[in-house]
Structure 1
Amino acid sequence: MRTYALAGNPNTGKTSLFNTLTRSYEYVGNWSGVTVEKKVGTLLNKIDRLVDLPGIYSLNPLSRDEGVAANFLLTESPDAVLNVIDSSQIERNLYLTLQLLEYRKPLVIGLNMIDVAKSRGIRIHTDKLSQILQVPVIPIVARTGKGTDAILEQLTGMPTSIETPFQLDYGPIVEQAVVACASYLDNLQLELPDTRWLSLQLFENNTAVKESLARMMPMEPLEQLYRQTEDAIVQSGAGLHLPQYLRSVRVAYIQQLCEQCVDRGKQKEHSLTERIDALVTHKILGLPIFLLFMFLLFKLTFDWFGQPVSDMLDAFFSGPLSDGVNQALTALGASPFTHALIVDGIIAGVGGVLVFVPQIFMLFLMISFIEDSGYMARVTLVMDKIMEMVGLNGKAFIPFIIGFGCNVPAIMSARAIEQPKERLVTTLLTPLMSCSARLPVYSLFVGVFFVSHKAIVVFSLYLLGIVLALLLAKLFTSIFYTSEKSMFVIEIPPYRLPQVRSLIRNTWEKGKGFIRKAGTFILGGSVLIWFLSYAGPSGFGVEMDHSFLAKIGGLFAPILAPIGFGTWQAGASLLTGFMAKEVVVSTMNIIYHAPDMAGLESQIQMAFTPLQAYSFMAFILLYVPCLATVGVIKKETTSTRWTLFSIGYALVLAYIVALIIYQGGQWLGFS
């Protein structure tokens, strides 16, 4: 079995190619930083492995995801490398290609987006490029699968070694130092990658390589050689530090290579992408356009599509399904306990959440459209100045947007942020984004109290989460650090009309997690909640107000009274929401013993006022992250202290905001 590494710049179509070559599915987005850890799949030959590395611009890591790629090449030594290049940005992409060629493993170049290059009037002479670099160069269109068969055939038929490895001449000073460094490494007789490549990476000041080698050998001789070589380069009149000098040699070679292999004679001055960007990234119009787009997203989710389909599902759960199960249980002679457990516990709890699946899938569909079309990268540009004002940069806004779907992958995507403390702040603030799990709660309450303004009210909650995250970012960055310099590098892809198949697949991959939770967390939670509502200190089958659930919820009622919902029902619902926010609706469905959504809505209408409802939704938005989110915060920060801090500050923030909303609303005369 062979192992092939798949490497390339961000947004070159690597993950699309990975999916095609392995017939597996990894999340694909049209913006930088999607793949934040290596992913492994089996090639279509059912034997060899393909490892999808994070998108990187060079092997010298600036962020955690880039460090994954460098460490993989250093420690796992793949049999060959598949390098994906964006044909329309070939000059920039070739820098990584040279570093991979110097790795001295068999290499195949997949020249992707050849259709985009052609539409821009760029022609690449692939045969000449292949001849000069001495590696196969195959034109492909990864999105459609064009050329991928040739890639697979080339990979599986590759030799295990290179007869004449690629070698770029860096001049006598560097070449002499490289020979000395490689000789030192060879004499150590350790299992290392190609020592010439290692030497060049050391001279480039590659932190991942230096840290790895420092664990295996004394570094002082190599550091001394580095200093001597850099002094010699400076004295030679180059006027550059050693890493800069190496880069200048590679850039000069790439320019010569492109002059020979790339024909730009018919290149268009202004592409459609540039004309659209003039509007959507405009310094004044860019933000209003983004907000308008988000508002239309919520109109589509709650008014134009999601609600009618949800009503149809509710009619099915409360009608044919419940009636059928009731009849079947009666025919089987089921006990009252079993009857109540299945109908009042499982169907009421799980079904009460599943009715909101259409709205959640519509939200995921629109988010997938934003990502696949290329608009996501533009949003980060639009938000960069605002993010800079609060101590972050535009790239930190990517996890916020992903958080609208689910906070867990959103926090993981923060790995692409280069600065450690900016990454930490983004991780801590991402749970304030309103994920899809909160959507059932919003849908329930806006359907009762804000029927004519559903989209506006839900939009205001999403906006509230963003505004509070920005304000806290300013506070946290002021407290946690003051001197760390921010860096904002983002790939701006061309606009593309997303493929229907890709949109459907992306939406399903995002949404299936919600359905999976319905069969695990929500099912288990519903059974537990029903049991606590069915049993009490005096035994089973007690009145709801005398149940264990009422006793537990009652403990929190006095604390919640100042923010508008001081009832044991609200307290019990919030407590169970720590498992998963959707369970709040399941709990209410069981507590209020509602036969269908209309029944639950009528009960909610009696228990809350519009002001209390908005305060409750704001509290749901901000209070403690769900169990899965807490777990990923612990994993990403590797700190119990920061994990507890994320829970504590969110709870305090939620209470303060709900208090302001409720008490302020009452003072202004709202009810």
Structure 2
Amino acid sequence: MDITVALIGNPNSGKTTLFNNLTGSYQYVGNWPGVTVEKKTGQYKEDKNIKFTDLPGIYSLSPYTLEEVVSRDYLINEKPDVVIDVIDASNIERNLYLATQLSEIGIPLILAFNMMDVVRKNKDQIDTKKIEEELGCKIVEISALRNENLDELIETTKQLAEKSYENKSMKSFSENVENYIEEIISSVDSLKENPAKRWLAVKLFERDEKIRDEIFVSEDEFAKINSIIDKAEEEFDDDSESIITDQRYNFVTDITSKSVKKGRSGLSTSDRIDKVVTNRLLALPIFAVIMSAVYYISIGIVGGPINDFWADELLGERVPEAVGGFLSSMGVSDALTSLISDGIIGGVGAVLGFLPVIVCLFFLISILEDVGYMARIAFILDRVFRRFGLSGKSFIPILIGTGCSVPGIMGTRTIENDKDRRMTVIVASFMPCGAKTDIIAMFAAMFAGVWWYSTIWYFGGIVAVVVSGLILKKTKIFSGDPAPFVMELPEYHLPSMRNVLKATYNRGKAFVIKAGTIILLCTVVVWVLSNISIYGEFMEFENASTHSILSYIGTKLSFIFAPLGFGDWMATVATLLGLVAKEVVVSTYGVVAGLGEVAAGDASLNALITSKFTTASILSFMFFNQLTLPCFAALGAMKEEMGERKWFRFAIGYQMVFSYTVALMIYQFSRVLIDKQAFNAGTAVALVILAIYLYLILRPAKKEDNKLQVSHEGVR
């Protein structure tokens, strides 16, 4: 028979590792209906009749976050056959809080005590039999990372699904509170036959308004419930929600004190490492060194000989020559041969030419995520962001955005505060995503041996986020304290190469698919526009730069970017087409490279870049493309997350003004300081803009309107 299993657990409990090991490649990723929280489903690789759903990591079933709402809605409405609560066995006390709630829903429950290898290493002793008796549900000891005991977990899952074993009722409250819960159950007719009646009664006791909307309760029943709650609150001298919370924690503490003995005292290895890497003085320098190393290895080392062979020799020479020779031998027309060799292969090849760099970057970042360091970065930058008006919660979407801006922008839904969420949507695309890394790599040859080149874009993005936070938070529409940020720091562990390679593969695959679809279409358009003259004739390459439709459009619009230092037609059309997808910036140069703009016989992309840019104009071009409007897909995500059109218009307006003025200042100041050119009117304008920015950053913040609102319920 088909068995549906829900995997649930605290963040960093190893739940996703377990899901990946059980399902292998038989998994599918989408979004929950109506929300952007990721939904993962998959079939057990040994038995396709067993289907798993990986629910978001949560700490409780209280509806405080979007993840919690999604998880509890799934459990209550979809009613899976079995729930597996994945518990970090090295920290049982914190993890069992969720288990006390899950036991009340009425769905067969298994507690998967994960990370037992860590427990053994720490010499901890856990009496799982005693915990099993106290909780009334099955416990299976596993290690998802090492694939230990997963067969027993599956076998226990089958037994519960086939009703050969039933959970006992977990009585997690004192006798008085249990009596109040029973009174509520007996007072509401719609609860009496509901399998989740105990959980629903507890939620009614907690005055959970979301539950009140989901079950039928008459006015008389509501009055009776309120009188029961009032009596309990008077007895315990506390509000009903706090009563339940305290009772759960007391229950869990009592169980663990009798069943768990720690083998080590003092600081753990992770704690000792964190004393250094999260130190107030050392944290940021260490973070800077680590991320510098990541970008240096990706762009400086892998982007050297490996990328030279892949991009220049293989995709730049052998493939086009082989394809061109084959097409010529088949009698294909010159125009079609040019379209395939110079347009499609030249454009898409220019993007894929940097695939080794992109894959290496994804690989190294996946390692940092898997060992647990990325969680520390969020913790470290929360200190920084909070000083500048942003919550550490804002860094999570921004961090996700280094892979792709779209999920980063979508991830802002987990930020409860509307002002913080909208501000994060505006700045989330400032970080260099995989597509922008393609542009960074395009200029790498001109900065060979320059130590700061490979990392300036990452930290430049962080600086742009911080500056924007300072400016926006001092406006009335974004004023107020940032939302609190609470997160768990997982234990450090050796990376699972399976997880790292899978994450790298998925990100790299998305990059290649994008190159094979959107970029392919754009390169064909670019080729057509660059090889058809404004008179409607197919042209020879040597005349394309002056008479093509593409050069005509670029020349007419180049005045826009002239103050930024890249006012030629190629840079103009590349930047404008980059709104479709940032990779198109590279593919555009790949298509138009060799159209008569460089010396005869030297039509390579590097030669073209060298002839068109100075150090100042490269810095300006790069930062403009990094900070300006993202690709169309990301703009669509921004529009969706902003909700109202006025907020979306404000977001794109801010990004356009911010990116243009920053690029203008960078070019004008770099032109004078680096390229040793003369001070001119443009430099003077840049100084005025700098003064305006300093004023916006340093001015006093707008005070939030904190007047009390009076309603029929009293003062709020």
TM-score category (smaller protein): over 0.9
Does residue 375 of the first structure (1) align with residue 356 of the second (2)? no
Question: Cα deviations across residues 60-98 of structure 1 (Å, max 9, x unaligned)?
Answer: 032212221122122222222111000011000000001
Mapped partners of 1:483, 1:224: distance in 2 = 38
Mapped partners of 1:474, 1:208: distance in 2 = 36
Is the contact made by 1:60 and 1:208 (CA closer than 8 Å) also made in structure 2? Answer: no
Question: Cα deviations across residues 440-461 of structure 1 (Å, max 9, x unaligned)?
Answer: 211222312x2221x5123122
Mapped partners of 1:4, 1:625: distance in 2 = 39
1:670 paired residue number:
676
Q: How does 1:237-386 map to 2 (within 5 A)?
A: 238-264=236-262, 266-313=263-310, 314-386=312-384
Q: Which amino acid aligns with 1:621?
A: Q
2:681 paired residue number:
none
CA 1:221–1:396: 2 relative to 1, 3 Å = farther
Mapped partners of 2:296, 2:27: distance in 1 = 30
Residue 614 (structure 1) shift: 1.2
Does residue 41 of the first structure (1) align with residue 42 of the second (2)? yes
Mapped partners of 2:56, 2:15: distance in 1 = 9
Is the contact made by 1:58 and 1:99 (CA closer than 8 Å) also made in structure 2? Answer: yes
Q: How does 1:127-142 map to 2 (within 5 A)?
A: 127-142=129-144
Moved more, 588-597 or 94-103: 588-597
Mapped partners of 2:207, 2:456: distance in 1 = 47
Moved more, 84-93 or 219-228: 219-228
Mapped partners of 1:290, 1:567: distance in 2 = 38
Of 651, 654, 660, the match for 1:655: 660
Is the contact made by 1:108 and 1:155 (CA closer than 8 Å) also made in structure 2? Answer: yes
Question: Cα deviations across residues 169-199 of structure 1 (Å, max 9, x unaligned)?
Answer: 635654444334334543489x965122111
Of 596, 606, 609, the match for 1:604: 609
CA 1:599–1:389: 2 relative to 1, 3 Å = same
Q: Which amino acid aligns with 2:155?
A: E
Does residue 228 of the first structure (1) align with residue 211 of the second (2)? no
Q: How does 1:196-215 map to 2 (within 5 A)?
A: 196-206=198-208, 208-210=210-212, 212-213=213-214
Secondary structure of residue in 2 paired with 1:78: coil
Does residue 469 of the first structure (1) align with residue 474 of the second (2)? no
2:700 paired residue number:
none
1:438 paired residue number:
436
Moved more, 125-134 or 315-324: 125-134
2:456 paired residue number:
460
Mapped partners of 1:192, 1:387: distance in 2 = 46
1:166 paired residue number:
169
Question: Cα deviations across residues 85-131 of structure 1 (Å, max 9, x unaligned)?
Answer: 00011000000001001112111111000111222222111222222
Of 634, 640, 643, the match for 2:639: 634
Residue 43 (structure 1) shift: 2.5
Is the contact made by 1:177 and 1:225 (CA closer than 8 Å) also made in structure 2? Answer: no
Q: Which amino acid aligns with 1:629?
A: A
1:557 paired residue number:
558
Is the contact made by 2:431 and 2:458 (CA closer than 8 Å) also made in structure 1? Answer: yes
Is the contact made by 1:67 and 1:208 (CA closer than 8 Å) also made in structure 2? Answer: no
Mapped partners of 2:453, 2:218: distance in 1 = 60
CA 1:193–1:386: 2 relative to 1, 3 Å = farther
Moved >6 Å (runs of 4+): 25-28, 594-598
Does residue 519 of the first structure (1) align with residue 519 of the second (2)? no
Mapped partners of 1:219, 1:598: distance in 2 = 79
Is the contact made by 1:71 and 1:208 (CA closer than 8 Å) also made in structure 2? Answer: no
Residue 319 (structure 1) shift: 2.1
Secondary structure of residue in 2 paired with 1:580: coil
Mapped partners of 1:247, 1:342: distance in 2 = 66
Residue 160 (structure 1) shift: 5.7
1:505 paired residue number:
502
Residue 262 (structure 1) shift: 1.3
Moved more, 513-522 or 417-426: 417-426
Question: Cα deviations across residues 230-252 of structure 1 (Å, max 9, x unaligned)?
Answer: 4323322x232111111111111
Is the contact made by 1:95 and 1:254 (CA closer than 8 Å) also made in structure 2? Answer: yes
Is the contact made by 2:389 and 2:481 (CA closer than 8 Å) also made in structure 1? Answer: no
Aligned residues: 657
Residue 333 (structure 1) shift: 0.1
Mapped partners of 1:188, 1:646: distance in 2 = 47
Question: Cα deviations across residues 309-331 of structure 1 (Å, max 9, x unaligned)?
Answer: 11001211222211111110111
Is the contact made by 1:173 and 1:229 (CA closer than 8 Å) also made in structure 2? Answer: no
1:121 paired residue number:
123
Residue 469 (structure 1) shift: 0.7
Mapped partners of 2:642, 2:216: distance in 1 = 29
- RMSD (Å), alpha carbons: 2.5
Q: Which amino acid aligns with 1:634?
A: K
CA 1:85–1:434: 2 relative to 1, 3 Å = same
Mapped partners of 2:653, 2:221: distance in 1 = 47
* Structure 1 gaps, min length 5: 29-34
Secondary structure of residue in 1 paired with 2:499: helix
2:23 paired residue number:
22
2:185 paired residue number:
182
Is the contact made by 2:191 and 2:200 (CA closer than 8 Å) also made in structure 1? Answer: no
**Percent same amino acid at aligned positions?**
37
Q: Which amino acid aligns with 2:638?
A: I
Residue 505 (structure 1) shift: 1.9
Question: Cα deviations across residues 270-329 of structure 1 (Å, max 9, x unaligned)?
Answer: 211111111001011111110111111121112222222110012112222111111101
1:89 paired residue number:
91
* Structure 2 gaps, min length 5: 30-35, 678-716
Q: Which amino acid aligns with 2:160?
A: M
Moved more, 463-472 or 334-343: 463-472
Moved more, 169-178 or 623-632: 169-178
Is the contact made by 1:625 and 1:647 (CA closer than 8 Å) also made in structure 2? Answer: no
CA 1:186–1:164: 2 relative to 1, 3 Å = farther
Residue 221 (structure 1) shift: 5.3
Residue 408 (structure 1) shift: 2.1
